[in-house]
């Protein structure tokens, strides 16, 4: 396992249990375009948030080992709904609409962001939000706004770097450390930053263990 700053380290048993969990059946449950169309908050949920094109859908596919479960797209901003996936009948994974999508009309963009924001504020069964950041770019101003909203709503969140296959190992490590330092004083941020690649699978086993711990601890 990679050594990361402020590390919570998982045992071999925990990593294996998380692997088994994510190998269980998973299905697309539903997409909700409105806040009153969400499923009842009767199961633990973890959500994946981040800018359009950061790799949310690809990461959900990598976690579940399913190539086409969540629709990944080269076209930014295609996912306009909150999409729910049901894992092993006992954990929901939530793919949130991407923020910072410039090509949507202003009112459209606002509507999707309002939906994501309303979900994040009012979801009592939400165990943790994974805030995805492109490892090449790091935290941007729009990301900081999302972090502010999560801190204000007191929703526990953790930063996940995506697309680390695009960086050299030393660059990736520097980005992990820089990002961890930036969120260190944020009240609702989980201190450990997880570095992943949906392309190579790097960090995916580790993230599965994080999700299992957050959902069922
Ligand atoms: N190299 C690389 N590309 C990735 C990775 N994850 C996603 N992508 C690409 O980034 C683009 C956006 O991915 P997607 O999952 O649709 O992002 P979303 O809009 O956040 O759901 C697609 O072209 C993916 O193939 C990764 O780990 N490595
Ligand atoms: Mg997507």
Total domains in the chain come to: 1
Bridging pattern class, strands 126-134 and 157-162: parallel
- Is pTM beyond 0.85? Reply is yes
> Which residue segment(s) compose the domain that 19 sits in?
12-216
**Ligand closest to CA 201:** 1
Residue 7 included in any domain: no
Q: Domain of 107: which CATH number?
A: 3.40.50.300
Q: Is residue 149 part of a domain?
A: yes
pLDDT of residue 90: 97
In a domain, 106, yes or no: yes
Residue 146's closest CA among 177, 103, 175, 113? Answer: 113
Q: Which two tokens stand for residue 191?
A: 């201190």
Tell me the two tokens of residue 41. Answer: 């908050």
Q: Is the CB of 55 under 6 A from ligand 1?
A: yes
- Which segments within the chain are labelled E, that is strand? 26-32, 45-50, 82-87, 91-95, 126-134, 157-162, 194-195
pLDDT for 111 equals 58
Residue 78 forms part of a structural domain: yes
State the pLDDT at residue 86.
97
Rg of the chain (C-alpha set): 16
How are the residues of the chain apportioned to helix, strand and coil, as percentages rounded to the nearest 5? Answer: 40, 20, 40
Pick the residue whose CA is nearest to atom 3 on ligand 1. 163
What pLDDT, on a 0 to 100 scale, did the predictor assign at position 6? Answer: 46
Structure tokens at 209: 């263990």
Nearest-CA residue for ligand 1 atom 6 is 55
Whether 179 is in the pocket of ligand 1, judged by its Cβ within 6 Å, is no
* Any domain includes 191: yes
Residue indicated by tokens 């202003």? 106
pLDDT for position 54 = 95
Look at residues 96, 214, 97 and name the one whose alpha carbon lies nearest to residue 156.
Answer: 214
Q: Say yes or no: CB of residue 123 within 6 Å of ligand 1.
A: no
Identify whether 70 is part of a domain: yes
Q: Is 34 in the pocket of ligand 1 (CB under 6 A)?
A: no
Which stretches in the chain have pLDDT values below 70? 1-8, 72-79, 100-113
**CA distances in angstroms from 114 to 99, 105, 149, 197, 202, listed in the order given:** 10, 14, 11, 29, 33
* Per-residue confidence (pLDDT) for residue 179, from 0 to 100: 98
Other C-beta atoms closer than 10 Å to the C-beta of 136 total 14
135 lines ligand 1 (CB under 6 A): no
Q: Is residue 6 part of a domain?
A: no
Query: For residue 193, what pLDDT is reported?
Result: 97
Would residue 133 count as lying in a domain? yes
Which ligand sits nearest to residue 132's alpha carbon? 1
Please give the DSSP secondary-structure letter assigned to residue 208.
H
What is the model's pLDDT at position 72? 65
């Amino acid at each position: 396992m990679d050594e990361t700053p402020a590390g919570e380290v998982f045992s071999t048993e925990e990593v294996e249990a998380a692997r088994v969990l994510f190998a269980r059946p998973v299905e697309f449950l539903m997409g909700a375009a409105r806040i009153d169309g969400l499923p009842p908050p009767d199961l633990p949920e973890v959500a994946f948030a981040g800018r359009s094109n950061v790799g949310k859908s690809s990461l959900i596919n990598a976690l579940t080992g399913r190539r086409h479960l969540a629709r990944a797209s080269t076209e930014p901003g295609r996912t306009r709904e909150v999409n729910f996936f049901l894992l092993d009948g006992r954990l929901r994974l939530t793919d949130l609409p991407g923020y910072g999508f410039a090509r949507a009309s202003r009112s459209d963009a606002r509507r999707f962001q309002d939906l994501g924001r309303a979900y994040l504020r009012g979801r009592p069964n939400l165990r943790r939000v994974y805030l995805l950041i492109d490892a090449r770019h790091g935290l941007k101003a729009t990301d900081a706004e999302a972090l502010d909203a999560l801190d204000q709503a007191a929703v526990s969140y953790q930063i996940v770097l995506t697309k680390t296959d695009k960086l050299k190992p030393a660059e990736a490590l520097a980005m992990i450390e820089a990002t961890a330092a930036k969120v260190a004083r944020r009240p609702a941020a989980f201190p450990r930053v997880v570095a992943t690649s949906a392309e190579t699978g790097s960090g995916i086993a580790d993230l599965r263990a994080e999700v299992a711990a957050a959902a069922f601890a």
